[in-house]
Amino acid sequence: MDREPRAEVRATIHEHLAWWGLKRFTSDADYFVWQRKQLSPADLTQLNAQIDRKRGGERRDEVAFYDLTTQPLMLPVLYSQRYEYYCEIGSHVAARFGNANSILDFGCGVGILSTFYATQYADRQFVGVDRSPASIAVAREKARKLGLTNIRFECVDVESENLAGAYDLIVATHALVQAEQDPGIPSHSWQTFERARDAKQQAAFEQRTGIGIRLDRLRASLAREGRMIVSEKTRQLARRVPFQRALAGRGLQPVEAPKPIHYQLVEEVADDGPFYVLGRGAPQQFQWDESPEPDAGGPFDRNNLKTDSTDPDAPLYENHWPSAQRVWEKLHDTHLLKETTNQGPDGRQLHVELGQAEEGVYLYCANTLDQRQLVIVEPARMVMLESYYQEIASSVL
Ligand SMILES: C[S@@+](CC[C@H](N)C(=O)[O-])C[C@H]1O[C@@H](n2cnc3c(N)ncnc32)[C@H](O)[C@@H]1O
């Protein structure tokens, strides 16, 4: 099976996205100029109000949002924001069809990627399903215009209906974990990134995000030797762990090393994924990774802590990433001055401590959603850290 997207596949995606009326922008400012030319202030107000409602997580608001995105003027404007996502995900998925003859694209939306796959693999049969009726109507119309006879689209909400058929490959990209506001599952204490194997907590996550029922229904539609390709916004450990456990709990195992996905969106660089290729009942060749993602925490050299900053308030060392924990654990001759651990009613914890070490005065902060922060300053600047300490220690969870 091909693993890396071929250059010609990437080139065809650009043609395909252009056919859909999507534009590629290298500057956010250019995108917003274009957006304001295409959409009236009233359109933008309506859209923003619908985006806010969707955040509430109600099914009807989510469906209404996706229905709204299909309006002829809105569609290219909104989906152009996801241009690089389509290139990245589309090319990775298209490189992994293997021998699959029947392919389901779950949560296909208006079918931008499903129609791409169907044009690339004219000899395979595709089905796209989505619960947004307007998205399915657009998908059908676009497939007809593209002359595709190997794809059909169905309006199905898998939370309330079973899927018919048994597919060799099921693709679900940005469709399984819709609950973007859900923080996931906290670690079992501020000292660790580990999550307890708590069946109740896992079941609650699967239920409130709707992922349990979605996965059950997809898994039931997967052929015996079938594969699943899944990529969601589950890079943060607190979401990644319960998501992976939900997959593993249904007998799905990675058949290649899960990889992080990185692409540019309007106004943000998205780090999401991982991109998983899973086999049903496949032997365990790759371990699920439950460790924090590699981060950009600066290297720690205790012999050379002085920054070359001209700012007198600049700390000797600062790390706002999970790797701060490793550095904090290795500080020399620490003497704790004060510490507070706040606990929320749901078990979340926030710990902050102020201490002295051979390296300087330090403030360390850690919570059960994997945030870590270590700041080391010269002893003479301790007052600054004390005020941060008070601020953090008095926060309510
Ligand atoms: C963010 S869009 C992603 C669309 C497409 N997969 C892509 O990658 O561009 C998520 C889609 O999943 C659909 N969806 C969410 N939950 C669903 C469910 N329970 N049944 C069917 N479709 C669902 C939504 O209607 C929406 O069109």
**Is 158 touching ligand 1 by the criterion CB < 6 Å?**
yes
246 Cα–ligand 1 center, Å: 19
17 Cα–ligand 1 center, Å: 19
Write the residue with the smallest CA distance to atom 14 of ligand 1: 107
- In our burial notation (b when 16+ CB lie closer than 10 A, e otherwise), range 50-67 reads beeebeebeeeebbebbb
Please calculate the CA angle 184-187-188 and round it to the nearest 5 degrees. 130
**Cα dihedral sign for 248, 253, 259, 261?**
negative
Pairing of strands 102-106, 167-173: parallel
Cα distance between residue 66 and residue 134, in whole Å = 8
Write the residue with the smallest CA distance to atom 8 of ligand 1: 173
C-alpha atoms less than 13 angstroms from C-alpha of 36 in its C-beta half-sphere: 5
135 Cα–ligand 1 center, Å: 9
CA-closest candidate to residue 302, choices 336, 327, 334 = 327
Q: Probe ligand 1: pick from 108, 173, 275, max atoms within 8 Å of CB?
A: 108
Cα distance between residue 64 and residue 55, in whole Å = 12
**Is 157 touching ligand 1 by the criterion CB < 6 Å?**
yes
Please calculate the CA angle 129-253-3 and round it to the nearest 5 degrees. 75
**Is 132 touching ligand 1 by the criterion CB < 6 Å?**
yes
CA 94 from chain centre, in angstroms, equals 20
Q: Distance from first CA to last CA of the chain, Å, rounded?
A: 48
Domain-wise residue ranges, the chain: 7-280, 317-393
**Is 111 touching ligand 1 by the criterion CB < 6 Å?**
no
Write the residue with the smallest CA distance to atom 12 of ligand 1: 107
- In this prediction, residue 176 carries a pLDDT of 94
C-alpha atoms less than 13 angstroms from C-alpha of 5 in its C-beta half-sphere: 18
Write the residue with the smallest CA distance to atom 18 of ligand 1: 157
Q: Probe ligand 1: pick from 91, 174, 182, max atoms within 8 Å of CB?
A: 174
**Is 90 touching ligand 1 by the criterion CB < 6 Å?**
no
Q: Contact at 8 Å (CB) between 236 and 291?
A: no
CA-closest candidate to residue 359, choices 281, 305, 313 = 305
What are 18's two structure tokens? Answer: 């252009």
**Is 13 touching ligand 1 by the criterion CB < 6 Å?**
no
The minimum-distance atom of ligand 1 relative to the CA of 109 is: 27
Backbone Cα Rg of the chain: 24
CA-closest candidate to residue 273, choices 243, 238, 233, 244 = 233
For 59, phi then psi, to 5°, come to -55, -50
**Is 135 touching ligand 1 by the criterion CB < 6 Å?**
yes
Q: Contact at 8 Å (CB) between 342 and 349?
A: yes
The minimum-distance atom of ligand 1 relative to the CA of 214 is: 19
**Is 70 touching ligand 1 by the criterion CB < 6 Å?**
no
The pLDDT averaged over each successive group of 10 residues in the chain (397 residues) is 68 96 94 95 94 90 96 96 95 95 98 98 98 98 98 96 94 90 92 95 94 96 95 94 97 94 84 92 85 82 66 85 94 95 90 95 96 94 94 87
**Is 175 touching ligand 1 by the criterion CB < 6 Å?**
yes
The minimum-distance atom of ligand 1 relative to the CA of 112 is: 9
Look-up of token digits 């925490």: 297
**Is 391 touching ligand 1 by the criterion CB < 6 Å?**
no
Look-up of token digits 């004390």: 386
- In this prediction, residue 280 carries a pLDDT of 87
66 Cα–ligand 1 center, Å: 8
- In this prediction, residue 119 carries a pLDDT of 97
**Is 173 touching ligand 1 by the criterion CB < 6 Å?**
yes
- In this prediction, residue 307 carries a pLDDT of 57
- In this prediction, residue 268 carries a pLDDT of 80
**Is 131 touching ligand 1 by the criterion CB < 6 Å?**
yes
Q: What is the CATH number of domain 7-280?
A: 3.40.50.150
**Is 174 touching ligand 1 by the criterion CB < 6 Å?**
yes
DSSP codes joined into one string, 230-251: EE-B--SHHHHHHHHHHHHTTT
369 Cα–ligand 1 center, Å: 27
Q: What is the 3-state composition of the chain as percent helix, strand, coil, each rounded to the nearest 5?
A: 35, 25, 40
The minimum-distance atom of ligand 1 relative to the CA of 171 is: 6
338 Cα–ligand 1 center, Å: 48
Cα distance between residue 212 and residue 215, in whole Å = 5
**In Å, how far are 30, 33, 301 from 40, measured between CA atoms?**
17, 12, 55
